[in-house]
Structure 1
Amino acid sequence: MAGQPTFDAAEAVKGRPFGNLPEWDLTDLYPGPESAELKADLERLDREVKDFAARHQGRLAELEPAAMLACIEAYERIDITAGRIMSYAGLRYYQDTTDAGRAKMLGDLQARITDITTPLVFFSLEFNRVPDETYAAVFAAPDGPARYKPVFDRMRAMRPHQLSDELEQFLHDNSVVGAAAWNRLFDETTAALEFDLDGETLGLEATLNLLTDHDRARREAGARALAQVFRRNVKLFSRIHNTLAKEKAVEDKWRKMPTPQHGRHLSNHVEPEVVEALRNAVTAAYPRLSHRYYALKARWLGLDKLQVWDRNAPLPTETPRTIGWDEARQTVLNAYAGFAPKLADLARPFFDKGWIDAAVTPGKAPGAFAHPTVVTVHPYVLLNYLGKPRDVMTLAHELGHGVHQRLAAAQGELLASTPLTLAETASVFGEMLTFRALLAETTDPVQKKALLAGKVEDMINTVVRQIAFYDFECKLHAARAEGELTPDDINALWMSVQAESLGPVFEFMPGYETFWTYVPHFVHSPFYVYAYAFGDGLVNALYAAYEDGLPDFQSKYFDLLAAGGSKHHKELLAPFGLDASDPAFWDKGLAMIEGLIDQLEALE
């Protein structure tokens, strides 16, 4: 792995075609990496943690309701300080993961925060040993911590999987040289990858972007460059996945987790059977969704078989277009305002106050995300904006996350965090609003077809592709339980789900078997990916209720977002007449995708 994209290549993707792309202003977190405020927070965090442990360790079960409320509020303040420090270090690092100083700062602060917070390990362990009758009485008292009950109900769901205090403390201390270290290795490796395109050196994000190029030869060149570099690095990526999967298996064994996925379901506050119903509904729909759509696309492209570089190709009738940043901003804000002015008002500060980092720059983390930081500050959005229509949808998606995080912040640090199954609601809804607004304005049949096809592809990528990813992870962890996996073993698992999900119209070039290597979710958040499909199905059902004119929909929607993690998905969806535990629920969302494919066929 050599260095970074050349200066000229970086400038080509960063500069003038898109207008002035915004950068983060991180001073809302701290004035700088050497600031007195950051040092003071570290010192205060150390004092407060020690004081908290001295006051409460061994005494939680004896606390009266008002004292328990004060205890939880003190814990929440500690959580905010630690979260603020790590948000700052992490965001600086993601701006340039190849900068040694930023990487050192992140590593040092991770180690320091881990050391400082080790005395807090007792809190959840001891809380889970509070007798049920005591717990119920304390959380039912009018002067007690009743509003925090959903947080601690989720914590107590881990009771069957809790280890001894000493073991839990060991796992806490060991985390910086375990999963966190392998995560950093993955991030730094992918950020430093270089791809040669006819003498031009590009990074990962710019090379992946070629897969949506109008020029089929450029798409093929991009795909082959990706395959060449992934193959060259596949042993390292295989080592990372083998190690993380085994580490997880060891911890799961000690915690007596029934399946590798179970911990994710617990943290998502979703029942395994609900996820299984989602997975089964989507895989059963593969022939009606992806297989059917890609057969259509092959006809549009005049091909008997599609290659992997045709999957996200623009339609041949679609006019290549670069969308400037100002137009992207206005498109999304107008779509948000069309739903409710409040939604646009919540999104606008992201553009005006340095809450978005949009340019593709050397060393910057690939992809896109919205990081909530802490409830006393605000979220930050990372993009790699290259002026494609999909980039506008990504902007709409990440702003949805940002708006959701802003609204949920009123719940406080412990309750604001939304389970992953609901975390994609506002993001996917924001995409849908933007798509519907653009579709309503489009009268030209060719443009309408391109818009519809783009949306169908995005939904297939969100639902079909992510469930295929989930199946790949399930197979990977099951196979790893039987022993070490070679790169060829992992490649074979990847291809088994790709062929099944994409359908018979696809041919797979040599090298595509390694494309699992760059997917960060497998490394950072095992089994995260089904949340995307969950969110899409949920939003499709919500949007159908909106289109059907459900009374007071907007205020119910804002209530859902503002609830953060304070309510179960069943309770949140009840005002909309929806229930995700009903297997038929998922068919409603999948029917919307089928309906869009019907519209495309009607345009033939």
Structure 2
Amino acid sequence: MTVRPVFDATASAGGKNLGDLPEWDLSDLYPAPDAPEVKRDLDWLEDACARFAADYEGKLGTLDAAGFLEMIRRHEKIEAIGGRIMSYAGLRYYQLTVDAERAKFLSDCQEKITNYTTPLVFFTLELNRLDDELLDGLFAADPELGRYKPAFDRIRAMKPHQLSDEMEHFLHDMGVVGDAWERLFDETIAGLTFEVDGEEMSIESTLNLLTEQDRSKREAAAHELARVFGENIKTFARVHNTQAKEKEVMDRWRKMPSAQHARHLSNDVEPEVVEALRNAVVAAYPRLSHRYYELKRKWLGLDRMQVWDRNAPLPMESDRIVGWDEAEKVVMEAYAGFDPRMAEIAEPFFNKGWIDAAAKPGKAPGAFAHPTVTDAHPYVLLNYLGKPRDVMTLAHELGHGVHQVLAAGQGEMLASTPLTLAETASVFGEMLTFRAMLAKAKDQKERKVMLAGKVEDMINTVVRQIAFYDFECKLHEARRGGELTPEDINVLWMSVQAQSLGEAFDFMPGYETFWAYIPHFVHSPFYVYAYAFGDGLVNALYAEYEANPDGFQDKYFDMLKAGGSKHHKALLEPFGLDATDPKFWDKGLSMIEGFIDELEAMED
């Protein structure tokens, strides 16, 4: 997220001509890291935080509704300025994580903002000491103030887990230390190099080879990934041990009932709902992944599948590369087909420098949509290599972007959605794109390839992410018993692989280290179940759209515009859906089963 060096998109995509790939223009945030606007905003932030504390510390209980609303607006302005600085620094860094200047700029901004915002630590602490009756009375007295009640309800959910003021200040200041371990992980991953068939490659390009038609190339990539992960496994184990121990200490002091509980609180979701989701998916493994991979084993003509066959294209699948212009057209047509407003919101991402698409050395792997702040706009990062799955990734991240644009009207405190709901628009965008492409399939063979690809994506989103969640649960539980060796972590990883993938697979030596590269485990513990939650929710939503299309679009846009202002139960109520109903998850899983049924019927 940065200045604009000119990259050779053709070379970065392994010699495949993908067209002109867009790059970020971060000038909507700041012109440059040394621009006077950066210093101006840092200086303003330092002063604003000090004045906020001077005006409000020890006085929250004395404010009337008008005073409380004014305080919220000042707090939101502080969040907006601090968020703008950190978005700019973070985006620059992720665009080239191996650049020392960018890493230093990010680190310096983090430290300054941590120091400047330390006086604000009193805010949530004092807030959680106020009586419920006092706050309820304030929210009832002014409709504009009452709009913020959901945000304060979420803050007050942490009330039982709050520590002393002095301890909370200490933990706030120590936050940069945990961030340093995350940066070590990021820089280690970005700095890894792999050699396949004499060509030096980044991790993103090497992982991409696992979807090649040529099985020998997939096998070579899998072994090279295992070799490099193995050489660096001590570093990855150290990061995981430290992060898990830090979390265990924090959870113990905060009296969290489980390692997952803090994530459930931040997601505004009940633990029993997540448990129902997890149990429904695990119970469905035989009907979903086991059944599908047995089909795929036959299609590939194999007695046994290896891990490098999991995401292999089907034999009848072409090696066609999708250029960037075609990918944009496919996604935009699908969005417009659902509602022209959706395409209208998505358009600036393509023509205003809101997407950084090319896979480049040193760039962060994977893909994301970052909302920045509500008076700016989101940015999307991709590593686009022209695979059909990359088109779906574009549809996914663009869905996040549309959601973030629509929710921005809620303001800083209410725009951000819990992770469980943050995947709604992204997965829905994928589904729209898939359905549009499926409708244009020219024959049964093409339909089969597309259905199989979608099933694999859904298995990766639902089955695989719940297996990841189980791995994390086991990892954090085991870490409570002491330091874990790399071999200990390897065993935990393998314990969920056979269970989730089924009998069709053998596992090559070295695959036990593949936990090492997954960033969610380090950056956002227990994030992964949100993908399965989002997929299940969207499958149920899409079924409702097909059954009752009249007026659906307006209800859908209202849901996205709500941002984080409503609980999942209230958001789904207009659609007649309820995620607290255990049978809810079976609706979503039945859509995947239906696709597999259709694939099996094609075998007859």
Query: Given the two structures, how large is their TM-score scaled by the length of structure 2?
Result: 0.98
**What is residue 74 of structure 2 aligned with on the other side?**
74
Deviation at 1:144, TM superposition (A): 6.0
Tell me which moved more, 546-555 or 281-290. Answer: 546-555
Is the Cα–Cα contact under 8 Å of residues 9 and 201 in structure 1 kept in the other structure?
Answer: no
Change (3 A) 1:460 1:144: closer
Deviation at 1:551, TM superposition (A): 3.0
CA distance in structure 2 between the partners assigned to 1:9 and 1:409 by the alignment:
32
Q: What CA deviation, in whole Å up to 9, does each residue of 1:504-560 have, x standing for no partner?
A: 110000000000000000000000000000000000000000011243100000000
Is the Cα–Cα contact under 8 Å of residues 9 and 358 in structure 2 kept in the other structure?
Answer: no
Q: What CA deviation, in whole Å up to 9, does each residue of 1:454-488 have, x standing for no partner?
A: 00000000000000000000000000001110001
**What is residue 89 of structure 1 aligned with on the other side?**
89
**What is residue 207 of structure 2 aligned with on the other side?**
208
CA distance in structure 1 between the partners assigned to 2:533 and 2:12 by the alignment:
37
1:447 and 2:441 matched = no
Q: List gaps (5 residues or longer) in structure 2.
A: 1-6
CA distance in structure 2 between the partners assigned to 1:385 and 1:235 by the alignment:
30
CA distance in structure 1 between the partners assigned to 2:389 and 2:493 by the alignment:
25
**What is residue 595 of structure 1 aligned with on the other side?**
594
**What is residue 122 of structure 1 aligned with on the other side?**
122
Alignment of 1:523-542 (within 5 A): 523-542=522-541
SS of structure 2 residue aligned to 1:416: coil
Whichever residue aligns with residue 50 of structure 1, its letter is: A
Deviation at 1:11, TM superposition (A): 2.0
**What is residue 349 of structure 2 aligned with on the other side?**
350
1:149 and 2:165 matched = no
SS of structure 1 residue aligned to 2:148: helix
Q: List gaps (5 residues or longer) in structure 1.
A: 1-6
Change (3 A) 1:289 1:36: same
Deviation at 1:421, TM superposition (A): 0.5
**What is residue 140 of structure 2 aligned with on the other side?**
140
**What is residue 4 of structure 2 aligned with on the other side?**
none
SS of structure 2 residue aligned to 1:17: coil
Deviation at 1:362, TM superposition (A): 1.1
Deviation at 1:15, TM superposition (A): 6.5
CA distance in structure 2 between the partners assigned to 1:542 and 1:152 by the alignment:
28
Whichever residue aligns with residue 141 of structure 2, its letter is: A
SS of structure 2 residue aligned to 1:414: coil
Deviation at 1:143, TM superposition (A): 6.2
SS of structure 1 residue aligned to 2:322: coil
**What is residue 161 of structure 2 aligned with on the other side?**
161
CA distance in structure 2 between the partners assigned to 1:562 and 1:145 by the alignment:
18
**What is residue 4 of structure 1 aligned with on the other side?**
none
SS of structure 1 residue aligned to 2:240: helix
Is the Cα–Cα contact under 8 Å of residues 66 and 144 in structure 1 kept in the other structure?
Answer: no
**What is residue 58 of structure 2 aligned with on the other side?**
58
**What is residue 267 of structure 2 aligned with on the other side?**
268
Deviation at 1:8, TM superposition (A): 9.7
Deviation at 1:197, TM superposition (A): 0.7
**What is residue 562 of structure 2 aligned with on the other side?**
563
Is the Cα–Cα contact under 8 Å of residues 9 and 200 in structure 1 kept in the other structure?
Answer: no
Q: What CA deviation, in whole Å up to 9, does each residue of 1:426-474 have, x standing for no partner?
A: 0000000000000001131111100000000000000000000000000
**What is residue 381 of structure 2 aligned with on the other side?**
382
Is the Cα–Cα contact under 8 Å of residues 294 and 505 in structure 1 kept in the other structure?
Answer: yes
Change (3 A) 1:569 1:345: same
CA distance in structure 2 between the partners assigned to 1:603 and 1:284 by the alignment:
26
CA distance in structure 2 between the partners assigned to 1:377 and 1:350 by the alignment:
13
**What is residue 474 of structure 1 aligned with on the other side?**
473
Deviation at 1:136, TM superposition (A): 1.0
**What is residue 339 of structure 2 aligned with on the other side?**
340
Query: Given the two structures, how large is their TM-score scaled by the length of structure 1?
Result: 0.98
Alignment of 1:135-284 (within 5 A): 135-142=135-142, 145-177=145-177, 179-284=178-283
Is the Cα–Cα contact under 8 Å of residues 12 and 358 in structure 2 kept in the other structure?
Answer: no
CA distance in structure 2 between the partners assigned to 1:61 and 1:552 by the alignment:
44
SS of structure 1 residue aligned to 2:414: helix
CA distance in structure 1 between the partners assigned to 2:12 and 2:473 by the alignment:
40
Change (3 A) 1:109 1:298: same
Is the Cα–Cα contact under 8 Å of residues 68 and 144 in structure 1 kept in the other structure?
Answer: no
* Count of matched residue pairs: 597
Whichever residue aligns with residue 523 of structure 1, its letter is: V
CA distance in structure 1 between the partners assigned to 2:133 and 2:310 by the alignment:
57
SS of structure 2 residue aligned to 1:381: strand
CA distance in structure 1 between the partners assigned to 2:380 and 2:100 by the alignment:
23
Q: Which runs of 4+ in 1 moved over 6 A?
A: 7-10
Alignment of 1:309-348 (within 5 A): 309-348=308-347
1:287 and 2:286 matched = yes
Is the Cα–Cα contact under 8 Å of residues 536 and 589 in structure 1 kept in the other structure?
Answer: yes
**What is residue 3 of structure 2 aligned with on the other side?**
none
Whichever residue aligns with residue 31 of structure 1, its letter is: P
Is the Cα–Cα contact under 8 Å of residues 14 and 361 in structure 1 kept in the other structure?
Answer: no
Is the Cα–Cα contact under 8 Å of residues 9 and 202 in structure 1 kept in the other structure?
Answer: no
SS of structure 2 residue aligned to 1:408: helix
SS of structure 1 residue aligned to 2:52: helix
Whichever residue aligns with residue 387 of structure 2, its letter is: K
CA distance in structure 2 between the partners assigned to 1:151 and 1:579 by the alignment:
21
Is the Cα–Cα contact under 8 Å of residues 242 and 480 in structure 1 kept in the other structure?
Answer: yes
Whichever residue aligns with residue 547 of structure 2, its letter is: D
CA distance in structure 1 between the partners assigned to 2:210 and 2:144 by the alignment:
56
Is the Cα–Cα contact under 8 Å of residues 22 and 357 in structure 2 kept in the other structure?
Answer: yes
Is the Cα–Cα contact under 8 Å of residues 570 and 580 in structure 1 kept in the other structure?
Answer: yes
SS of structure 2 residue aligned to 1:583: coil
Is the Cα–Cα contact under 8 Å of residues 14 and 360 in structure 1 kept in the other structure?
Answer: no
**What is residue 484 of structure 2 aligned with on the other side?**
485
**What is residue 103 of structure 2 aligned with on the other side?**
103
Identity level (%)? 70
